[in-house]
Amino acid sequence: MLLSFDLMVSFFVGMIMISMIRVVIGPSPADRLIGLNLVAAQVLAILVLIAVKENLAVYLDVALVYDIFGFVGILAITRYFGKKQEKEP
Amino acid sequence: MIWIVQFFLLLGVVFSVIGNLGVLIFPDVYTRLQASSTCSTTSVFSIFLAAMLSAGISQLTGKILVITLFFLFSSPVSAYIVARFAWNQDIVPWRKLKPRPSEFQEANE
């Protein structure tokens, strides 16, 4: 096979390293949130690839809960920073 | 069937590279958000299609289908939340020509 699932897992780990650069150097909190959104999507892809490769359904439950918590986490972070921004002036 | 799986994996690789490059080199929050949201959604969706085709009809396929439906709901909504957060913090959208002074004052107010 040309692109095996092992190779795809390694590729997505490298892509996560690249998109963590934006999380580190982002000038504003919105940039860091964009980087975190990208990292969460790629970790989800890695979990699904490992589940299909190992033929284990347990990883898919972990992937679903990870997706839900990533969504709720971004919602909570935006609520926190938005409220803090209103209180300061 | 193997070649269809290969095609979708290759599509995922291409979209992931394009999205990460866009997030690295674009100049503004909104343009970066556009690159991140569209490219990550399409790349992860292609990977899910390849995984579903590779697993055949089994327990794995149904669970991947549920994850795909939730991901198609949650990814645009979280992109919208980040865009509304950036807009509420008075981040002016980037443009190639510098804004005129009157427009700049309007944007700052």
**What pLDDT does B102 receive?**
62
Nearest by Cα to A75 from B68, B82, B69: B82
Per-window interface: B 59-78 vs A, CB < 8 A: 59-60, 63-64, 66-67, 70-71, 74-75, 77-78
Burial B5-33 (b: 16+ CB within 10 A, else e): beebbebbbebbeebbebbeebebbbebb
High-pLDDT (> 90) share of chain B, %: 41
Burial B46-63 (b: 16+ CB within 10 A, else e): bbbbbbbbbbeeeebeeb
B92: left (phi over 0), alpha (psi -120 to 50) or beta: beta
Domain that holds residue B27: 2-108
One-letter amino acid of A25: I
**What pLDDT does B90 receive?**
79
Domain that holds residue A73: 5-87
pLDDT < 50 regions, chain A: none
**What pLDDT does A17 receive?**
92
**What pLDDT does A5 receive?**
84
Task: Report pTM.
Answer: 0.84
Mean of all residue pLDDT scores within chain B = 86
**What pLDDT does B95 receive?**
77
Q: Does B108 touch chain A (CB under 8 A)?
A: no
A70: which 2 tokens? 């990533």
Structural domain count of chain B: 1
The Cα angle at residue A29 between residues B75 and A22, in degrees rounded to 5: 75
Which pLDDT tens digit goes with each residue over B33-78?
Answer: 999 988 888 999 999 999 999 888 888 899 999 999 999 999 999 9
Q: Which pLDDT band, with edges at 50, 70 and 90, does B101 fall under?
A: low
Q: How far is A42 from chain B (nearest CA, A)?
A: 7
Tell me, what's the ipTM?
A: 0.84
Which pLDDT tens digit goes with each residue over A22-39?
Answer: 899 878 888 999 999 999
Residue B79 with chain A: CB contacts under 8 Å? 37
d(CA B48, CA A45): 7
**What pLDDT does B93 receive?**
81
Burial class (CB in 10 A: 0-12, 13-18, 19+), A3: middle
Q: How far is A60 from chain B (nearest CA, A)?
A: 7
**What pLDDT does B98 receive?**
66
